[in-house]
Structure 1
Amino acid sequence: MDSAVARERALDAAETLFYGRGIQSVGMDDIRGASGVSLKRLYQLFPAKEHLVVAYLERRDLRWRQRLAEHVAGHGDARERVLAVFDWLDRWFREPGFRGCAWINSYGELGATSERVAGQVRGHKRAFREYLTGLVGDAGLPAELAGHLHLLAEGAMVAAAVEQSPEPALRAGRAARTLVDSCGRRPGID
């Protein structure tokens, strides 16, 4: 098995196990068993479990942000693109096996002990906020609205995991619409 295939198998197993059971409850031997990659090869690819966790979060980040952007891009009106973020959260929260935000979960488990994991989480959250800032700017809305929407979305992620319900996305979406509508429409901006 070449390195690229072994790496993908290890990351597939890590994603399933880390997201499904939690990072600290999963050992490298569990990854070996689920991936079919030998321990020796795993440690060649990822010298420590922390390296595997960071790689898992990096790969998941790319897919998560791409899926969000694709969904939002399907909405023509700039203000509706802002609100489409919350529609997408509702879809995500309804996926089988949803266990909350992988980055919030990872930070809760390792943020205090692993600067590399904490940095990866901060980077993901910063990128999400910057994405919202871009959407808000494109819609001609006040810049500070992005921070408010970011907090609504992050709160919805935590609440959805704790409540085991997609309902927080709907509540946050209604609050987001109220905030967007309170900004009023500017002439010439859709």
Structure 2
Amino acid sequence: MDSNNDRIQLLDAAEQLFYERGYQTVGMDALREASGLPLKRIYSLFQGKDQIAVAMLQHRDKRWIASLEQHIGHEEDPSDQLLAVFDWLESWLSREGHRGCAWINAFGELGAVSPGVTQAVRDHKNRLKSLITDLAGQAGASQETADAIFLLAEGAMVTAGISGRPDVAIQARRAAQVLLAA
């Protein structure tokens, strides 16, 4: 058996189940069924569901950040790259079945009881903040402005997840534009 393929197969199944149903409602049998892997194989890859959740968040983070970086890479000007973050968010928030930010959802469900999940969420949010801070700095904006733009992105994700309105990312983009122009 190819360990890496089995691992990815399990993490992809876990991502879909956790995102659709929540972390606490998904049991190991559901992960077994969705991944097509025997429980013995799953336990040889991870000690338990908490470790699967952490690895899934890390796996998702790599794809999420790579997709965002690819999108903003189409722009040359740092200000345009920074605003493209919101364009990408609007597209991502518009996907069918969107249920909010996977990391915020994980933190809400497991943050109090899983230090690993808490760290995976913080790592993801720190990567996003670092990306926004770097772009804002390249655009000549202050750290204070970069922090505000990061909060606009986070607020758009939370608001869209609750309201079901992906256009909040465009509203956040306009606010970021105002901050950059100030």
More displaced, 134-143 or 53-62?
134-143
Consecutive unaligned residues of structure 1, counting only runs of 5 or more, are 183-190
Give the Cα separation in 2 of the matches to 1:5 and 1:127.
26
User: What is the DSSP-based 3-state SS (H/G/I as helix, E as strand, rest coil) of the residue aligned with 2:14?
Assistant: helix
Give the Cα separation in 1 of the matches to 2:134 and 2:5.
36
Tell me whether 1:159 sits opposite 2:159 in the alignment.
yes
Q: Which has the larger radius of gyration?
A: 1
User: Paired residue for 2:50?
Assistant: 50
Within 5 A, what are the aligned runs for 1:32-51?
A: 32-51=32-51
User: Paired residue for 1:186?
Assistant: none
Give the Cα separation in 2 of the matches to 1:179 and 1:138.
15
Counterpart residue type for residue 32 of structure 2: R
Tell me whether 1:13 sits opposite 2:13 in the alignment.
yes
User: What is the DSSP-based 3-state SS (H/G/I as helix, E as strand, rest coil) of the residue aligned with 2:76?
Assistant: coil
Tell me whether 1:22 sits opposite 2:22 in the alignment.
yes
User: Paired residue for 2:59?
Assistant: 59
Deviations 1:51-77 (A, max 9, x none): 100110000000110111111111122
Give the Cα separation in 2 of the matches to 1:112 and 1:50.
13
Give the Cα separation in 1 of the matches to 2:107 and 2:147.
20
Counterpart residue type for residue 101 of structure 2: C
Give the Cα separation in 2 of the matches to 1:149 and 1:35.
38
User: Paired residue for 2:79?
Assistant: 79
- The TM-score with structure 2 as length reference comes to 0.97
User: Displacement, 1:5?
Assistant: 2.1
User: What is the DSSP-based 3-state SS (H/G/I as helix, E as strand, rest coil) of the residue aligned with 2:117?
Assistant: helix
User: Displacement, 1:2?
Assistant: 2.6
Consecutive unaligned residues of structure 2, counting only runs of 5 or more, are none
User: Displacement, 1:145?
Assistant: 1.0
- The TM-score with structure 1 as length reference comes to 0.93
